Amino acid sequence: MKIVVVDPNLAPHRKRFEALLPPGSDIGWFTGAAPEDELSDAEVFVGSRFTAEMASAARRLRLVHPAAAGTDRIAFDALAPGVLVANTFHHERSIAEYVVGAAVMLQRGFLTQDSRLRDGVWATSVYDSSIPQIPTLGEAYIGFVGFGHIGQCTWKLLQPFGCTAAAVTGSGKVADDTGLQWVGDTGRLDQLMRESDVVVVSAPLNSRTEGMIGAPQLEALGPSGVLINVGRGPLVQERALFDALAGDVIKGAAIDVWYRYPVDGIGCTPSDLPFDKLPNILMTPHSSGVTRDTFAGRAGDVADNIGRLVRGEPLRNLVRG
């Protein structure tokens, strides 16, 4: 089995990955791109970007497997009939940690306190009686926009704090008894925003969800509300989010997913709007799921699926079959 790997995130787990592959696997590791002569006899391609040109070169290809959840950079239309595509997750624990950490930081006002203390201002009710005492995270009502594996894992971490929560999902349902106050479809989004102190966005991006959170929803969240987006940037309308933060329509936001991304390794600002000038936003570079735990798990998942392919067993997380 010839396997071509073009994924720098798997490189730290190379020993683990190779140890889990079927005996006799022939593995080539590449950075940037794989040479055409390597693709020509590859049966498995591991990487997040697979173009039409690569598909035409890979005549023996049986499986494309990004070590990631996203498959938007794979040229599905160019794949030959019978070529499988599978993905992998394993980021939910890492993203859940991010959400909890961001929720504590924003709900407790630590961003503001940090900024003001650098100017010699002790921004706490102990030193300034005009500042109200801040509630703990345990008092917060959490609203989940989307309640898949990320939302479920986050809720498990938040429950010991004493939080209460509700969720909206595309179907208006969740699989198990989760201890949520209620679950509804997206028609109840405005209600969720009004009731919540912290809103966690992890819904999938599609034609129905793009821009689902705009100015009216952010106004419903209100001046004591916090928004955390770990789904996709365009789930939240860009200008509406900026204006809500700049105008203190909401208390703050943690944004890990953006409106612009680097192309071919060339850096860029994550938006045309100056989010970096705002004091009430935590900005991170789509890093909430980037941990050793995530990619060690993904290495295991990809290797397991390659073994299943060799043995003729059904693959897990099959996207195209």
Confidence (pLDDT) at 266 = 87
pLDDT tens per residue across span 128-137:
999 999 999 9
Q: Is 30 exposed, middle or buried (0-12, 13-18, 19+ CB in 10 A)?
A: middle
Q: Does domain 2-90+292-320 have CATH number 3.40.50.720?
A: yes
Residues linked to residue 226 through DSSP beta bridges, in sequence order: 198, 252
Confidence (pLDDT) at 265 = 77
pLDDT tens per residue across span 265-306:
789 999 999 999 999 999 999 999 999 999 999 999 999 999
Using the CB atoms, write b or e for 2-28: b if 16+ within 10 Å.
Answer: bbbbbbeebeebeeebeebbeeebebe
Strand ranges (E), 118-232: 141-145, 164-169, 183-185, 198-201, 226-229
Report the distance separating Cα 3 and Cα 98, nearest Å: 33
Residue 247 one-letter amino acid = G
| Inter-CA distances, 257 with 189, 236, 291, Å | 20, 10, 16
> Would you identify the CATH topology of the domain 92-283?
Rossmann fold (3.40.50)
Confidence (pLDDT) at 55 = 96
Confidence (pLDDT) at 177 = 77
CATH 3.40.50.720 residue ranges of the chain are 2-90+292-320, 92-283
Residue 206: how many other CB atoms lie within 10 Å: 10
Helix (H) / strand (E) element for 38: namely: helix 36-39
Nearest to 46 by CA among 37, 58, 56: 58
Structure token pair of residue 299: 């290495």
At how many degrees (to 10) do helices 92-107 and 110-117 cross?
60
Confidence (pLDDT) at 175 = 80
CB 8 within 8 A of CB 293: no
Residue in this structure with the two tokens 């993203």, named with its chain if needed: 95
CB 234 within 8 A of CB 211: yes
Confidence (pLDDT) at 320 = 94
Reported residue count of the chain is 321
Residue 108: how many other CB atoms lie within 10 Å: 14
Residue 129 one-letter amino acid = S
Q: Do the bridges between strand 318-320 and strand 84-86 make them parallel or antiparallel, or are there none, so unpaired?
A: antiparallel
Structure token pair of residue 305: 């699926």
In order along its 321 residues, the chain shows pLDDT tens digits of 999 999 999 999 999 999 999 999 999 999 888 999 999 999 999 999 999 999 999 999 999 999 999 898 999 999 999 999 999 999 999 999 999 999 999 999 999 999 999 999 999 999 999 999 999 999 999 999 999 999 999 999 999 999 999 999 999 999 877 899 999 999 999 999 999 999 999 999 999 999 999 999 999 999 999 999 999 999 999 999 999 999 999 999 999 999 999 987 789 999 999 999 999 999 999 999 999 999 999 999 999 999 999 999 999 999 998
**SS3 state of residue 185:** strand
Residue 251: how many other CB atoms lie within 10 Å: 22
Confidence (pLDDT) at 25 = 97
Helix (H) / strand (E) element for 84: namely: strand 84-86
**SS3 state of residue 254:** strand
Structure token pair of residue 47: 């990487």
Q: Give residues with Cβ within 8 angstroms of 303, minimum separation 6.
A: 17, 20, 21
